[in-house]
A and B are shown apart, each in its own frame.
Chain A
Amino acid sequence: MFAQFFGSYLLNEGLVTAAQLAKALEEKKNTKTRLGVLAINAGYMTAGQVEFIHQVQSTVDKRIGDIAVEMGFITPEQVEELLTKQPQDYLILGQTLVNDGVLTNAQFEKALNDYKSFNALSESDLNGDKTDKLEKIIAQFYNVEGESAPRYTNYLTLLFKNLIRFVGDDFTPMNATAVTEAEYENTVGQQIIDDDKKSYTAICCNTDVYIKFAERFSEEKLDIADDFVNATVGEFLNLHNGLYIVNQSNEFGNELNLDPQEFIYNKAINFDKITIDVPIAFSFGTVHFIISNL
């Protein structure tokens, strides 16, 4: 989960292009993290030391870890610790970008440290799937504030978890914008009903992306945007909204309801309440999530 926001940070800082990032997100499933990146992340070695060891390794037939220990940069116990730990997804992304030559070890080290300090995150915070830390990153990323901030944060955190779980992890969250109108080739909308208010949520995108999104979720090959594609994208929204209102019910005692989904094509929807458009760039295209009056 942190990989997507780390990727977005790299993009916003101009360290990678959208195309480089999309390629790395697709490739990362085949990437193995190497000791250098792991040691930089853990703070055991600097990028300079890693570069130096790579140069030495090109002249001798020894493993990186052995050279690093001989040089006194790292202890054997630290090597063991790094190699036995399951690497986190943001590190795999970083390694992929280093392998692709997009980032040097030094640029990766600086970006990682800046990102951690920007979000006030420690190494242990980034290990695992800590919802409170994720919520913090998400609240900061989207700059949500005010009375409704906890609901938006909760909704978005759950959205990213559900996207990773059901659609794929090859995406980059882009900056959200406040909107008063939305018009896309395809929109699936659903109202969340509270006693005294109605919130509106929607998934919007152009037709090619709509079909790809449905293909991912249904795990079936789909060619045209027919009723089945509508039903598939609609079910993702329904599933996600359902889990959100169950969370609200269990954690806050808010009993919300859902309306059946509606499908809109090439027609503007207008909003008179606070509404945000949250674009998420997948490797197959950008999907927009509209959240209004949550």
Chain B
Amino acid sequence: MTIQDMTVMICDDSMFARKKLKDYILSLGVAACYEAADGEQAVENYKTYQPKIVFMDIVMPKKTGIDAVKDIIEFDPDAKIVMASSVGTQNHLKNAINAGAFEFLQKPISNEQVLKLIETVAEGV
């Protein structure tokens, strides 16, 4: 699969964080980029759109990113979820990986990191 065929979802309660990441991801020419502003919406939107890769914050209202990962993995064990969080403590890292996330990025995240992960997932699809 090429980057142009990729569908992406960004889950972050910060409108600023979503916009910055979305602006960059859309500039790569992906097929679609969806958003969610809390953990509950993240799970709902995943079920609706089933994006190829998800960027997930941890500290969010209604449902944390870690709990959202658990729910998404229960629905789709092959989901590719990248934690993109400001709280990369050892506990959070461990919990995210145990929940089924396949990568953890500590904010601030760079465009290069994002591109590399989207490319990696695209190659594997």
Contact = CB atoms under 8 A, between A and B. Distances in A.
Interface of A: 166, 218, 227-228, 231-232, 234-235, 238-239, 241-243, 245-246, 248-250, 255-260
B87 A228 contact: no
Nearest to A240: B86
Main secondary structure of the interface of A (DSSP, over half): helix
Contacts of A248: 89
B61 to A, nearest CB: 5
A170 to B, nearest CB: 20
Contact of B89 (A234, A235, A245): A245
A218 B16 contact: yes
A248 to B, nearest CB: 8
18 contacts: A166-B108, A227-B15, A228-B15, A228-B19, A232-B16, A235-B16, A238-B59, A239-B86, A241-B86, A242-B106, A242-B107, A243-B86, A245-B87, A246-B87, A248-B89, A250-B90, A255-B90, A260-B59
Contacts of B59: 238, 257-260
B91 A234 contact: no
Interface in B67-108: 85-91, 106-108
A222 to B, nearest CB: 11
Contacts of A250: 89-90
A255 B89 contact: yes
Interface string B1-36: 000000000000111110110000000000000000
Task: Identify which of B59, B88, B90 gathers the most chain A CB atoms within 10 Å of its CB.
Answer: B59
B15 A242 contact: no
A249 B87 CA distance: 10
Nearest to A257: B87
A182 to B, nearest CB: 23
B19 A249 contact: no
Contacts of B106: 242-243, 246
A239 B91 CA distance: 18
Contact of A234 (B14, B60, B85, B107): B14
Contacts of B85: 242
A242 B86 contact: yes
Contacts of B14: 231, 234-235, 238
